[in-house]
Amino acid sequence: MQRKPRILVVGSFVMDVIATTERVPASGQTVYGKSFHTAPGGKGANQALQCARLGAQVTMMGCVGDDLFGRQLLEIPRQAGVDVSRVVVRPGISSGVGHVTLEVTEHTAQNRIVVIPGANRTLTVEEVSWLRQEMSSFDMVLLQLEVSIEVNLAVAGWAREAGVPVMLNPAPATDLDDRLLKLATYLTPNEQEASAETGLPLRMDQRGIQRDDLKKIAAALAAKGVEHVIITLGANGSAVVLGDGIQYIPAVHMDHVADPTAAGDSFVGALCVGLTIGLPQTEALAFASHTAAITVSRMGAMPSLPTLEEVAQLLRQRAYQGFDLSVLDALR
């Protein structure tokens, strides 16, 4: 029997505090909301949980506060089989919090998020140093930008030494350290992040995203040392830059969009799983698109992330022909 892929995620834990409204207030204005709830999240934790729900063996490293949110943030990944035994619990500081305003209309849902990093930004290189000796046991390392750049550089450097591929999800958008880009095997920005990192426009016309803009952005990122550039484009799907040009992978649309909060994390987690079981990039991207489609049809971050069986069912329902679904048996 084929071994399940082992994925290391180093990143954030964030409790999302979500207010749902039909209309976002303007400056100085008050509006009534429709509902309020909390949902465990954080880009790192979401991605780790998605990998685990798809069948991978996942180790998560990060930092939470010694508070109620911290305990709740660890419990859901733990229940899904994520190894959180080495996560740092930091006394005297709050866990990360995401303040989410979700504007819901009849056909769409748009979010606006303010993240308070809390304990996430206190994680140190010394606290993750145990990973250096363990690195060769992993098939993929997944990083984001919600922990310090020093931690990301250290982990990515150890992965490079061990010959383990690194997927860097450059979110939230910020100026990236070129040293980190050179250590990334895969870079997965969305359109805003890709434009912000390169300083180049990514325009859209009636035919969709302009190919020339995508090519220029991909070339600029490749010049910084990134091996594989994959740009997510929201409702326009995703694009992978190949040697012979750009290939688009269409988005998978659902009848109902409830909450896009964790869609990008779901996509990136599923992409990691697809690549580590040997799917070619375009097929791994299609697998990720089907996974993220289920996520946007549900409320919350962690609660919305689908299982392998749910994704396989959607692939069958949509009559996907890109790969034999028996390849997913490696995850069962």
CA distances from 301 to 249, 294, 305 (A): 24, 12, 7
Q: Tokens in use for 17?
A: 């505090």
Distance (Å, whole) CA 34 – CA 181: 42
265 as an active site residue: the answer is yes
Decide if 158 contacts 134 (C-beta within 8 A).
no
Catalytic residue of the set 213, 259, 265, 329: 265
Length of the chain (residues): 332
Residues 17 and 98 sit within 8 Å (Cβ to Cβ): yes
The single residue listed with the structure tokens 């930008």 is 145
Q: Cα dist. 252→115, 125, 288 in Å? A: 28, 39, 10
Closest CA to 296 of 235, 208, 209, 239: 235
Catalytically annotated residues: 265
